Amino acid sequence: MSIDVVGILVLLLIFVVGTWRSINLGALALVAAIALGTCFAGVSLKDVYSGFPADLFVLLVGVTFLFGVATANGTVEWIVDRAAHLVGDHARMLPWVLFVVAAVPTTAGALGPAGIAILAPLGLRLGQRYNINPVLTGLMIVHGSAVGNFSPINVLGAIVNQTMEREGLPSNPLLLFVGNLVFNVLLAIAIYWIYGRALRRRAQPAGDGVSESESDSASTNNDDRSIDPAGGSATGAGRQGTLTVAPAASPPRLDRPQIITIGAVLLVVVGAIGFGLDIGALALVAAVVLRLVTPQSSEGADKSIAWNVVLLICGIITYVALLQHLGTIERIGDAVAQMRMPLVAAFVICLIAGAVSAFASSTGTLGALIPLSVPLLAQGDVSVVGLIVALSISATAVDATPFSTVGALTVANAPASQQQRVYSGMLRWGLSMILIAPSAAWLIFVLIPSA
């Protein structure tokens, strides 16, 4: 049995055992990477460890630590109170507001993690205030951010377009951007329909509403209730087709630690989005400085670091990096590119892009698979631009998985009481996208234009 087959089977076994025994998948993946690399592939431990995502580790620890400080000293609560005051009784539109706001940084050129790192902690807590399904909130933020992935001025879009030019392939930056934008808007509509059922039912006449805490599970015959942004529950008939939410009381004035914290967060945002600095390093520095400057108000902030999520994400990514180091992914791509049925080969390449990117870098996946697609595209039976658009969507629509950077940030920054629910929901959605996104993108951008 080849090392490639063994590697894929072990990856599947990791998920089976992790689900069966409720052990951290990251720990299993690290052990599997060490065993596979040293015992079967003849790879040194140094090479195995080289796949450990140190940058993602710093990002997760830094951001969760920073917002742990902000939560401990009441800054996050103050911001959520202000946001709730502005949202008022329009809670049903909150997921769409978060979707649009998340799209702005990436469309303007920022990488997805930069906007997600700031918006996810606040958006999830604001959704919690309105008792909105946290999976709905998290997915709307992630796919909102994905809207701008292939903006002509976004780094990811530039990488795809430059790779195509380097390979001598025709490119269409506008179609790439618009195609991805429309695809993610359609996904957002599906997300709102699937996970926002209880939220929509709040607009029904009194007596027919259900609590959002029930999410998409079986409904009950509770009285029509609305959620008070100040934290309580308000009862009122309301107008048919509206959601009655008590106006948020004006939050108290900011104290010194909170002012310093907001200043630190703004500096992190400006440094990451404005100057392209590493947001993980900036967040970690800011958190440590805040902890030193405001020791009393930030007491216990380090406990907010989601170590279980960090271990899970980094372990899985280390294992997938080992498979890439062994050439497993590249050999699979080569085999697909040599298939004699171009349309089928294009579909398989899109599936590979989704499956690999769900556990690895979208940028790295696209950088590897676009060149591998050149022999297939050279045959002239498949639309070059269409396949590149489908490939790009396939590699990024799966980013909601907790193993991608933006997915991991979203899960890690969910309130502790909702973290497992967010993880499970985003895992199910992200894994479903491995099949759904490539299939839909291939159908729309490859099969139909080639017909």
- Please state the three-class secondary structure of 367-423 as a single string: HHHHHHCHHHHHCCCCCHHHHHHHHHHHHHCCCCCCCCHHHHHHHHCCCHHHHHHHH
Asked whether residue 284 is domain-assigned, the answer is no
Checking if the pLDDT of 245 tops 70, the result is no
Looking at the structure, do residues 184 and 250 belong to the same domain, yes or no? yes
Asked whether residue 273 is domain-assigned, the answer is no
Asked whether residue 218 is domain-assigned, the answer is yes
Residue 138 contacts residue 99 (beta carbons within 8 Å)? no
Checking if the pLDDT of 388 tops 70, the result is yes
Q: Which of 255, 273, 297 is the last residue in one of the domains?
A: 255
Tens of pLDDT, residues 280-327: 899 899 999 999 999 988 888 888 787 887 888 788 888 888 988 888
Looking at the structure, do residues 347 and 210 belong to the same domain, yes or no? no
Domain that holds residue 323: 309-451
**Cα distance between the two ends of the chain:** 40
pLDDT score of 380: 67
Looking at the structure, do residues 245 and 335 belong to the same domain, yes or no? no
Looking at the structure, do residues 341 and 434 belong to the same domain, yes or no? yes
Asked whether residue 250 is domain-assigned, the answer is yes
Tens of pLDDT, residues 156-177: 887 788 778 777 888 888 999 9
pTM: 0.72
Looking at the structure, do residues 206 and 330 belong to the same domain, yes or no? no
Asked whether residue 24 is domain-assigned, the answer is no
Checking if the pLDDT of 235 tops 70, the result is no
Mean per-residue pLDDT for 424-449?
Answer: 94
Looking at the structure, do residues 84 and 232 belong to the same domain, yes or no? yes
Asked whether residue 290 is domain-assigned, the answer is no
Asked whether residue 353 is domain-assigned, the answer is yes
What is the percentage of the chain residues whose pLDDT exceeds 70? 84
Domain count, the chain: 2
Looking at the structure, do residues 203 and 351 belong to the same domain, yes or no? no
Asked whether residue 39 is domain-assigned, the answer is no
Q: Count the neighbouring beta carbons within 10 Å of the beta carbon of residue 16.
A: 10
d(CA 125, CA 143): 18
Q: Which of 234, 255, 276 is the last residue in one of the domains?
A: 255
pLDDT score of 19: 66
- Please state the three-class secondary structure of 264-275 as a single string: HHHHHHHHHHHH
More confident residue, 177 or 201: 177
Q: Which of 255, 281, 301 is the last residue in one of the domains?
A: 255
Looking at the structure, do residues 91 and 165 belong to the same domain, yes or no? yes
Closest by Cα among 362, 359, 354, 365 to 436: 354
Residue 339 contacts residue 345 (beta carbons within 8 Å)? yes
Tens of pLDDT, residues 40-77: 888 999 999 998 988 889 888 888 888 888 888 888 77
Looking at the structure, do residues 226 and 318 belong to the same domain, yes or no? no
Looking at the structure, do residues 239 and 334 belong to the same domain, yes or no? no
Looking at the structure, do residues 241 and 352 belong to the same domain, yes or no? no
Closest by Cα among 60, 80, 210, 195 to 140: 195
Looking at the structure, do residues 247 and 375 belong to the same domain, yes or no? no
